[in-house]
Structure 1
């Protein structure tokens, strides 16, 4: 049985990051001010790393390489996002990104090689 073509991890991570960025911009009720730019960029990257790990099942090392970060940074990002999911509105937002990523990549993810 032929396997579906897989998307390289760096490409998948760029797609997820762009999706998270676009959805953050859509959900924002105010324009991003200059002083908020760095914080917003960091939050978007953390959400994208989390979704790459949880939904696409990519390893922390692969995600770190794709984002130019260390695997421990990816682990920290996943923990931060997981902790923030106690907030219902943030949880709903991350769930929406997860559903969007699932619709793009399918339910199997790209990191599962079974």
Structure 2
């Protein structure tokens, strides 16, 4: 039975050489804090401060909803898997998954659906991921 061996010290096959290549976690904006961009975009349309969305405390319904919208947009617009969204926002992936399912259910409301479409297009334009028309 053949075994795979990592070439120690050469960099070939070394996990450190593959880190931050975008191979894991899907494509998405690179940079220091793209999550802040999603939070600021949601904050501008909901009126909920981004600092409140970052809080670990259980807050009122509006803050929780805004936080969920930021997670949802990070997942859908950046193409991040749920574990990456959770890591970026310091939450468990299952918490993020539940919030994304709830936002998806809320999209039945035409007003919220339009809002998410507009904010999503804005994020795509800012991050350079807008589709060519």
Q: Distance in 2 between matches of 1:40 and 1:65?
A: 22
Question: Are 1:81 and 2:103 an aligned pair?
Answer: yes
| Whole-angstrom distance in 2 between the partners of 1:78 and 1:98 | 14
Does the alignment pair 1:90 with 2:112? yes
| Structure 1 unaligned spans of 5+ | 1-5, 27-36, 109-114
What's the counterpart of residue 69 of structure 1?
Answer: 91
Q: Indicate yes or no: 2:129 matched with 1:103.
A: no
- 1:38 is displaced (CA, Å) by 2.1
Shift of 1:49: 0.6
Q: Which has the larger radius of gyration?
A: 2
Aligned equivalent of 2:40: 18
User: TM-score, normalization: structure 2?
Assistant: 0.63
Q: Tell me the residue number matched to 2:75.
A: 53
Match of residue 55 from structure 2 = none
Shift of 1:96: 1.2
**Structure 1 residue 15: deviation in Å?**
1.2
Query: Higher relative contact order at CA 8 Å, sep ≥6: structure 1 or structure 2?
Result: 1
Question: Which runs of 5 or more residues in structure 2 are unaligned?
Answer: 1-28, 49-58
Tell me which residue corresponds to 1:30: none
RMSD value over aligned CA atoms?
Answer: 2.1
User: Which aligned segments of 4 or more residues in structure 1 are displaced greater than 2 angstroms?
Assistant: none
Structure richer in helix, relative to its length: 1
Q: For the residues of structure 2 that align with 1:85 and 1:69, how far apart are their CA atoms?
A: 23
Q: TM-score, normalised by structure 1?
A: 0.73
Aligned length: 93
Separation of aligned partners in 2, 1:101 and 1:38: 26
